[in-house]
Amino acid sequence: MNNKRNRKEKPSSKREKAGFYIAFSLCLAAVGMSVWSAYSGVTNYFKDNGDTSSSIHQQDSTENVDKNLTDITEEDTTASEETTEETTAEETEPQTEEPSEDAAEYVTEPEETKETETEEVLEEDIVQTILRVNKNLGYPTETKIIGKEYSEDMVYDNTMKDYRAHMGIDFTCEDGESVIAMCDATVEETYYSEMMGNVVKVTSGEFSILYCGLNEDISVNSGDTITKGQEIGTALGVPCESADGTHIHVEIRVRNRHIDPLSVIENES
């Protein structure tokens, strides 16, 4: 009896084992499906979030690019306007350029500076010229009366009725008054001039003296050596200065340059 019961129980036990394995397999399959579903969900979640983040970043980048382009455009516009204003200002304002060193050499000096330098040179030349004459010249007449002084500036001429320089000294004389040598010298020549009358020209070193307005009875001849105080003739008058009365006109020249006779006549005071 027991053996029969055991035989009957064996098939049931096999079925139970088979059911157990089937149930276990289904559980594993369910777990696998759950895991796969969870994995797929997580993957899709991150994928969706990644796309969204990328989209956001892309949108931000686009906005930044647009903003940068806008800023650049505004800066370019501002720079263009400033450049236009500067160009307009440069065109409006006169251009003033500093002369280069080479050009500076050819820059014309101011007229005032030139005139001052010229005057200084002339004054120096005059001094040097005067120094060439012995400052012990005597007066050409005993009366020593000066009628008209030396002037390089234009002065009125009573006879010619015009203005002209007076390049000598007029010594007022009595008609026929003696004219004497102002220094030791050599008679270079005697001649007559329609403007100056009878003239005696003497030389002494680097300068010469002209005695003008003498009578025809000149006491010396060309080539004579004369001494200071010696009579060379008598006074008559100067034709171009006849309105000034009887006088002689005396000029002193140093290398053909006129100087004021009073600057070299000895001072007897």
Q: What is the CATH number of the domain that holds 197?
A: 2.70.70.10
Measured between alpha carbons, how far is 42 from 125 in angstroms, rounded to an integer? 115
Residue 252 forms part of a structural domain? yes
Q: Which residues contact 169 (CB under 8 A, 6 or more apart)?
A: 146, 148, 149, 150, 249, 250, 260, 261, 262
Give the model's pLDDT for residue 219: 97
- How many domains would you assign to the chain? 2
Instruction: Work out the pLDDT band at 241, boundaries 50, 70, 90.
Output: very high
Residue 88 forms part of a structural domain? yes
- Statement to judge: residues 141 and 80 lie in one domain: no
3-state DSSP assignment of residue 268: coil
Residue 81 forms part of a structural domain? yes
Give the model's pLDDT for residue 27: 80
Instruction: Work out the pLDDT band at 246, boundaries 50, 70, 90.
Output: very high
- Statement to judge: residues 257 and 154 lie in one domain: yes
3-state DSSP assignment of residue 50: helix
pTM over 0.85: no
Give the model's pLDDT for residue 47: 57
- Report the percentage of the chain scoring pLDDT > 90: 46
Per-residue pLDDT, averaged over 103-125, amounts to 53
210 backbone dihedrals φ, ψ, rounded to 5°? -115, 125
Tell me the residue range of the domain where 58 lies.
1-97
Asked which of 73, 97, 121 is the last residue of a domain, the reply is: 97
Instruction: Work out the pLDDT band at 105, boundaries 50, 70, 90.
Output: very low
Lowest mean pLDDT across 91-105, 129-143, 220-234: 91-105
Residue 1 forms part of a structural domain? yes
